[in-house]
Amino acid sequence: MMTKVHRIVGIIFTLLGLYISIYSFTKLEVGTITKPGAGFFTFVCGTGIFISSAIWLFLSWRKKGDSTPFWGKGEWINLLLALVITFVYALVMEPLGYAISTALFILLWQIVIAHSKPLTIILFTVLGTGAMYFLFEKLLSVPLPNGLLPW
């Protein structure tokens, strides 16, 4: 069942997405898809948030859902852990460098949040870190912090 809180959250995210889209379009240079400006990514994300939230909000008023709670007892702890892990990742990015901090982030995420098997943890950590490094550093030429590593 959609409660009043769910609808309020839907309204907030719809308005937030609309605000992000308008702000990006009016205050930042959006550019084009072939030559994106500073506001291109935020405009796309804001528009996505707006459209998704508006559809969800519209559908929530049209149908009656089941009465199961949004979270079971104690499930909010995973959200809190995910926020802490992400915050720590942002804090250690500069001093440790991209490769080490990203590897630690993926490792912690797989252990604490996803509860993955050891082989999956190792594969995701190594391949994920390597793939993201290659994507950002080599393909997109985004300068990443070296931190403790000399390369």
Higher-confidence position of 30 and 2: 30
3-state secondary structure (DSSP) of residue 31: strand
Task: Show the domain range for 24.
Answer: 4-62
Sequence-distant (6+) residues with CB within 8 A of 5 are none
- Residue 70 belongs to a domain: no
Q: Is residue 25 part of a domain?
A: yes
Query: Three-state DSSP class for 70?
Result: coil
Regarding whether 49 and 19 lie in a shared domain, the answer is: yes
- Cα separation of 143 and 150, whole Å? 14
In a domain, 144, yes or no: no
Please state, in angstroms and rounded to a whole number, the distance separating the CA atoms of residues 72 and 24.
Answer: 37
52, 87: one domain: no
Please report whether residue 71 resides in a domain. Answer: no
Burial class (CB in 10 A: 0-12, 13-18, 19+), 6: middle
What are the tokens at 50?
A: 């707006």
Predicted confidence at residue 150, as pLDDT, reads 72
**Same-domain check for residues 54 and 89:** no
DSSP single-letter state for residue 36: B
Question: How many separate domains does the chain show?
Answer: 2
109 confidence band (pLDDT: 50, 70, 90): very high
Please write the tens of the pLDDT for every residue from 71-102: 678 888 988 999 999 999 999 999 999 999 99
